[in-house]
Every structure is written in structure tokens, then in C-alpha cells.
Structure 1
């Protein structure tokens, strides 16, 4: 987990690059000093040309002039080359990209709650923006500020060598400049933090609309989405306008300060020259340096403002990136070893961390369920009974509030999450595919699978027929065709068959089927069921379904209601018992479970 403190957060990602940053800083300092020294030399040159004898000038001053020429023509360009090489080749690309990589790796392993409570686009934007923010903030601080400090100090020292009175205009200007920075820059920093937040918000809203484009089209709500995005953009525009107004005031203040500096420095230099205290060359040096400082001043404060802007972006990113993971491997976590596949839910209570109010009941309450190795268990119950929650807890998407879950006697809270999920194959009702090729999506179940294994899994899932006909906009066909974001280019049934092929290929010892065939038509479902039954052989299976006909053949059916197990037995035993399951079976309409309110409406 990255540290939550600003400086510690920056150092966490900067540590691998400090040698390059140190070299870059030293080069900036040397370049700044040499540039100031060149201005001083130009003043000396004016004095030399004024007093020198043309006949002896080269003999007396030729060596000095050659050295200064070498500095201007060779040394400074060479130092600038090395500085730019270190900055652009060593830091700018690698620095930000490594931050993105490391931050992405951390964020990707956050809990399910983390992603369900935020826009995916907003999280991605913060990872991208924060990487640039850290890079630019650190590089501006180590290069620009060092350059500025050396430049200003060098200017003060060299001006003082001509006459100490010439320091007064510079010191007054520096005081005014520091006051302007102190007043404007923090305000710009806060405004930029607001901009970063608004930018993430707008990106999240736009991406949300694009991701759910089928829903937008189905309900003909393009205008509504326009308004939703426009609202966020209006908020962002307000923050941009506030920032621009502050920038205008800052720029005006700097122009006034620069005018004061030029006037006072010129007036002071002329007065000292008139009094015989300084030479003509000193005037040329002081006024030339003043013009250079004027040109630099606006650039400097914008760099400082940029530094604070990046500070705002980083602070905004810290809130998202430097979050502790709610689901973590225990310090003593070991890989799960599944030899038999026995599962025990031992007095499990769970309510998604929400407090109980009044007579509220938790989603699961003191639930105990034992599943023998290789047993096929169907979970039955109305919506909200806790069936899918039980599956999510088995996969440890959430931690229990009370109780424990054991697989072959091993508490899943003390095994690694990766090994736990590697041992469980899951097909859900809401199938999501990666925006990659068909072969990549199926191979997700077994990364080292051969093409023959992939094709065999696709055949068993009855997906090979439609895969052969696929072609994406870039002309890729069959298994190489890309399926679009979340598999949007495929029908629900096609996505489901790809997902089933993926799990067939994974061949995990424990299988969870949560409405696995709900998106399929009856003919395809019947064909796939045969392969699913073959897949279940030797495996422990938990199957959730509203269509009771799909799970009636399970070894055992567990009937849940309001977070508790109310009945347990085979299909025939439960029908003979005449309880909730028998009632649900009688209410089937086309093989689906009807809710009480649906029945009332039908009557």
C-alpha cells in the first residue's frame, strides 16, 4: 500500500529514480550559474572594449575570450544536451509509466466493493493523472526550483561585485515576487485540485454512458445522458474559470513587478554611473540581467503554479490509490490445497458491513451448510434469499462478520486469495468478457492452454459454430476476432457459451454455477447441460438457479429464505415434504420461479 502522506507518497514512487534526479539537479545548477556568469562577462566585455588598445587587445585578452567562446559554443550546449537526455530519455517516459504500472498493480487487487463504489473511468483517470502529477511535481522541484535559486543567488552575488546598491532593486523585486507566489500559488493549487476532481468526475460520467450504451439506446435517453454529462462539465468549467481568473490576476501582478524592477534597476545604475561608482559595463550587465529576469519571472511562477497544480492532482489521487485493501491475505496465508473438495459454511453471519436497524435481518444469519466432497448441491430461493451472497463469500470477495468457511478443513481466511479462486470455477448470469480476442477470453481459464484444448472447450460449450462466423471491424476472424467491451459484440447466449468454455478449460475441482445457462435458449441449454454434467464429474458443485428444472437432478437441494436454510433434501424428498420448495415448484411458469407479487398480479 502506498503511504497516505503527500511527501511519503511521492517518495514511494520516486525512490528508483533518485540517481537520475540528482544528476539532473546538478546539471541544472551548473547551467544556471554559467548563464549568469555569461551576463557578467558581457558587462566585462563592454568595459574591455571601451578601455582596450586595439593593437594589443588580442594579445592581452585573447585567451579569456577563447575560453568564454568555448563555454558558450561547446560547454553550455553539451551540458544542455546531457540535461535534456537525462530528463527526456531517462525520466519523463519511464518515471510516469512506472508509477502507472505500480499503482495499477495495487489498485487492481482492491476488493470488489472498491470498484462497485466508484466509476471505473474515474479510477483509471486518477491512476493516469497521479502518475503525471508525481513526475512533474518532483521534476519541477528538483530541476526548476534549483535552477531558479542558483540563478537568483548568482545574479545577486555578481551584481553586488559591481556595487552593493544594485542589490536593492533585486531584493525588493524578490520580496514582491515571493509575496505574489505566497498569495497566488496556494490558491491556484486548491483550484487545480478541484479541477482534477471535476475532470475525474466528468470522465467517469462519460465512460459510464459509453459503457452502458445498450441501456441508453433501449430507453432512448441520449438527451438525459447529455444533461448528466453537461452537469459535470458545467461544474468543471466553473473550476476552470475560477482558475483562469486567478491566473489573470497573477500575471498582471507579475507584469507590474517586472516593470518596477526594470525602472528601479535602470535608475539605480544610471545614478551610480553618474556618481562614478560603476562602469558602463556594469550598467550593461545589470540592465541585461534585469531583462533576462523579467523574461524568466513569468515562466518561473507558472512552473511554481504548475508544481502546486500537480500537488492538487496528487492529493486527489492519494484518496483513491493509497486506500487500504479491505480484503487482504492473512500474514500466515498459504496456498489452498484441494484434495477432496469438502466445503463447510460454519455458523456464517453476513450483512455487507451494514448495521441492522430495528427488526432488520442480516443477509445471512448463523448459516451452517456442509457439502461433501464431490457432492452437487443446488441452492434455491427467492431473490434476496442470500444464494449469490453465499457464492461470493466462498470466493472471499467479502470477509465474514461471524463464522468461518472451510475447504478440506482449511479456513479460506488463511489461504491466499489467488490460490482460493484458482481452485473454483465460476459461471455467472452476468457474464463479462474482456475486450480482447475470443481465444484470449477462453484462454483466461488456463493461460498455458494449447489451441487444441481451447477448441475442444469451445466445442463442448457449443461455441465453435458461432466463433467460426465472427469478424471484427479490423478484419480479424474466428478465434482472433475481438468481442468488444464486456463482450458487447456478442449476444447474451454467445457470451455465456464463451464463459462456459473458459470454465471448462479451467477444470477447477470446485464449480459454482450461478444462473449459468440463463441466457441460453432451451435447445442450446440442453446440449450444454450434457457437457456441464460431464464437467461436474468428480467435482464439488454449488449451482444457483431460478429455473428449477436445471438443478432438480442435483444430489441435494438447499432451500434458502431470508438468509437461512429452511429445507434440505433431494428433489423428490422436498416435493413429498410439501414445504417451500414444493410450493415454488408448483408455481413454475415455463420453468422459472415467480415472486409472490408476480403471482398476485397474474391472479
Structure 2
């Protein structure tokens, strides 16, 4: 049995700034050292303008040598900050992705059924990227710039207070103005991000199902759908970008007016010999050096808000509360016999008034083999998902060895159940990794043994890389029958006390099915088994067969006893079979 322990769920903040602190908290020393080095770099850089003034007014070797010295110190501190920020952003970004996946993986099956898997993956990566982006923006473009502005104001004030007041007025005007404007920018950014996620989701959906697109000749239909999403995204993106440019234009006009006023006032003071030529050059140099910074202040705020909006949208989706959670103090499931009891179980899918099951009750003894039969839509697969607690009941309960599955950890519940699904779920990894997913610490010998039992070893040996061969996304490089045999081998290797076979042999040819049925019989020994099948011949040796109709058990018995009731549902299924399947 897999011995990997469950990771404890950690509460993840659902607001961008709180999440960023959550991401950088383990590395806060790097964060604060990076801030210190950036501030020092700004100090050494701004100080050079003061030195220029001294060089012009009183040329001396001291002030001449001060210029390269300050320049060197500025380089050293900036690069020190750069290295620290590189480490900080890489660690914070990757930690964010890991924590978000941990949270995402605890969502219920219903959560994933309602969303594009590709879009969710993009949101996780977007949050990680924006964590890194906003850390850089905060340190360099907010703290660094504000500190530099403060230094400029001090130098200007020491030269002539009126110059500092004019310069401060630009900041007083620009910052509140841009903060007000960015409220609209956030809404435009959120719309742009939402339409981008929709576009990405539709592309991934079409590519994932490309076989159906080609088989039904729906290429042009999919292109039209994507074209509509492209138009929506293009319009939203253009509106966001154009609004940003308008903000920059307004800032440019204001900054030009402020710089013009500062320079003209400084020139007036110099012409009246109130300030020296060195001070005039210093003032001009300082103000011109902040032309780009002040002009693009709105853009910087907009970029920050765009990252904020993108993170907000993604976090609101990913960090939704889990609908299925372990109870506080939930214990591990301990199976001794494998007795399964459904007690007045009632269930309906979200927002569907129709109940799949209503007061469904039945008992399964430990080690008993149960066949599950019914027409499509009778609730057979849903029944097994409820046993795995991939959905929660609306009423009633399910217990294993007198332990309510809601009172045990989900991880321990699923560790004790092996599943061979109708649609084999393979990862885009090697055959070795896919089989050993059932038991991560299994030996090669164990892997090969279960592959032989599942009739998979022979075809695996014909592949170029044998067990190291990649199966492709969802196993597309293998046939359906080959994929199913890999899934069967995985279940063999897990060797859990409860086994679910959901049409486990439906994709096998007759020769392989005979061999695999023998192996499955060996696998079922000593286990509680639920076998869902349309091919009734595969259920002949079951201890009991439960026949479902409209979410209720209408018949319960062995293959032989059920056939004796000629008017029964099971007998009707049997008589109407074509090639062993329920019509």
C-alpha cells in the first residue's frame, strides 16, 4: 500500500498582498536585505548629482574621485540587491505554485468538472509569475523610487525651498490622480484577464479533443468559437492598453509643466546669482533624471494593478473553500474485514433537482464480490465515486467496517481502495511511472510481475524504450486496450483491500480478456469487490449482483437466481444482450 503521507492543508490567503507576504515570509531575510541594498544604491546614485555640483563650483581631486567611488558603490549595492531579488523571486514563485497546487488538489471532483483544467493550470502559473513580478515592482519601483524622490526633495530644499515645493507638487498631484484612475484600470485588467483565460481554455479544450474535432469535421466550427473568444479578448486587451496610454499622456503633460517650472525658477535664481552654476546643473540633472520616473508613474501603478487584478482573479478561483474536507481530528481508516454499508444514502449533483439516489441502502460483507448492473445513467459509476468520497451525500451515510467515511481522512480512505476505471487515467510519463503510481516504492520485479498478470508485459517489451517509454498525454501513444491493461497493472500493484472495477475489461479483445479475467479473479481473492459491467458474462462468478434502475436497487442475487425470474430486469438484460453487452 502506498505509504506516502498526506500533506496537511495550509490556509492560503485569497487576497494578492496577503498572498505575496505568505509566499515571501519563509525568505523574509532576503526580502529585507534586498530592500536595504536598493535604498543604498539609490542613495549613492542620487548623491552623484550633489558631487557634480561640487566639482563645477570647486574643482578638487576629492570631489573628482568621489564620482567613480559613488558609482562603484551604486553598482555593488544594486547588483547585491539583484542577486538577492533573483533568489527571492525564484523561491517565492516556485513555493507559490507548490502551495496553490496543494490547495487545488484538495478540491472536489465537482469543482474540476465545472472548469477547464488548462485554465486552472494557467491561473496557478499566473499567480506564481505575478508574485515574482510584484516583489520586483514593490522593491524597485515603489520603495526605491519613493526613497529617491525623498532624497531629491531634500537636495532641492537645501538649494532653494521653492524648488522642492514645486517638485513635491508634482508628486502630490500625480500619485492621488493615478490611484484614482487605476480603479478603472483594475476593472479593465480583470476583464482582459477573464477573456484571456476563456480563450486559453477554449484552445486547450479543442486541442485536447482534436480527435473528435477531426472525426466530426468540426474544425471550422472550433475556429469560429475561438475567433469569437479572440475578438472578446482583443477588445478587452485594447481597451486596457489604450487606457494605460492615456494615463501616461496625462502624466507626461503634468511632468513637463513641473520640470519646466523647476528649471526656469532655477535659471532665474542663477541669473540673479542666488545659486551657483553647480547648483543650477545639479537641479537640472536631478529633475531631468526623474522625467521618465514621474511620467511613467501611472504606467508603473497600472502594471502593479494589472498584476494585482490578475492575481485577484486567479486566487478567487483557486482558493475557494473546499466542499469536501476532513473533519477536525479525522482518523485513518483501518480495514479488517472490508464490510461496506450504504445506509439511506441520498445524493444529487449540484444545482440538479433530480436525485441520483434516494434512501439507498445495502450491505456488502467483507471479501464479498458484488456485480453492479444497470442501464447507462442508472448511477453505477456515481455509486463508486460516493464510496471514494469524491462527492458528499446529501443524506444518509456510507461506512467501511463501521467507520463512517466522513469521519476518516480522505487520503486513508482512497489508499484502501484500488480503482480500474472505464477510461484509463494515464499521466504523460513513462509506463514504469504509471504502473508504479499504485505503489511508489515498488521494485522493478514487482512491477514486471503485475504487468504480466495484467497481460501488459509482452506489448511493453516490444516498445523501443520498454518500461521507460512515454505514453503521451492521457496515454494517446497506446491503444485503448493497452491503456486499460496498464491501469489494471497499477491496481494489481496497489493491492488495496477494496477493489472497484468499472468496466475493467471493456476495451480488451477476447483473447486478452480471458487471460486478464483469470488475473482479476486472483486479484479479487480476499478483497471486497465492486465490479461494474455491461458485459454480463463477466459477472457470472460474482457472489451477488445488484441491479440498478432509476437510482434504486430493483434486484439483488446471484447470476443463477436472477435468471430464474424470467420477468425480472436482469433476465431481460441477459436475453437482450448482443455479444454479451446490455443493449
1:444 aligned counterpart, secondary structure: helix
Q: TM-score, normalised by structure 1?
A: 0.91
User: In 2, are the aligned partners of 1:180 and 1:250 still within 8 Å (CA)?
Assistant: no
Deviations 1:449-507 (A, max 9, x none): 11111111111111122212224xxxxx2111101111111111111111111111111
User: In 2, are the aligned partners of 1:548 and 1:593 still within 8 Å (CA)?
Assistant: yes
Between the aligned partners of 2:241 and 2:349, the Cα distance in structure 1 is 45
Between the aligned partners of 2:142 and 2:262, the Cα distance in structure 1 is 24
1:584 is aligned to 2:573: yes
Aligned residue in 2 for 1:307: 304
Aligned residue in 2 for 1:411: 404
User: In 2, are the aligned partners of 1:343 and 1:408 still within 8 Å (CA)?
Assistant: yes
Given candidates 410, 413, 425, the residue that maps to 1:420 is 413
Between the aligned partners of 1:182 and 1:344, the Cα distance in structure 2 is 60
Aligned residue in 2 for 1:252: 249
Which ranges in structure 1 are unaligned for 5 or more consecutive residues?
Answer: 50-60, 472-476, 595-603
Aligned residue in 2 for 1:321: 318
Aligned residue in 2 for 1:533: 521
Given candidates 65, 82, 92, the residue that maps to 2:80 is 82
Between the aligned partners of 2:328 and 2:270, the Cα distance in structure 1 is 76
Q: TM-score, normalised by structure 2?
A: 0.94
User: In 1, are the aligned partners of 2:51 and 2:66 still within 8 Å (CA)?
Assistant: no
Which structure 2 residues correspond to residues 181-330 of structure 1 after superposition, within 5 A?
A: 181-330=178-327
Given candidates 551, 564, 580, the residue that maps to 2:539 is 551
1:93 aligned counterpart, secondary structure: helix
User: In 1, are the aligned partners of 2:89 and 2:131 still within 8 Å (CA)?
Assistant: no
Aligned residue in 2 for 1:23: 33
Aligned residue in 2 for 1:70: 69
Between the aligned partners of 1:171 and 1:38, the Cα distance in structure 2 is 21
Between the aligned partners of 1:564 and 1:345, the Cα distance in structure 2 is 12
Q: Which moved more, 1:292-301 or 1:108-117?
A: 292-301
Deviations 1:492-537 (A, max 9, x none): 1111111111111111111111111111122211221111111111
Which ranges in structure 2 are unaligned for 5 or more consecutive residues?
Answer: 1-10
Between the aligned partners of 1:177 and 1:278, the Cα distance in structure 2 is 28
Change in Cα spacing, 1:12 to 1:69, as seen in structure 2 (3 Å) is closer
Which structure 2 residues correspond to residues 84-233 of structure 1 after superposition, within 5 A?
A: 84-88=82-86, 90-233=87-230
Which structure 2 residues correspond to residues 428-507 of structure 1 after superposition, within 5 A?
A: 428-471=421-464, 477-507=465-495
Computing the radius of gyration from Cα coordinates, the structure with the larger value is 1
Q: Shift of residue 179 of structure 1?
A: 4.7
Q: Shift of residue 92 of structure 1?
A: 2.4
User: In 2, are the aligned partners of 1:258 and 1:294 still within 8 Å (CA)?
Assistant: yes
User: In 2, are the aligned partners of 1:192 and 1:313 still within 8 Å (CA)?
Assistant: yes
1:4 is aligned to 2:14: yes
Deviations 1:551-576 (A, max 9, x none): 12211111111111111111111111
2:463 aligned counterpart, secondary structure: coil
Deviations 1:376-401 (A, max 9, x none): 11111112222111111111111111
Q: Shift of residue 300 of structure 1?
A: 4.0
Number of aligned positions between the proteins: 572
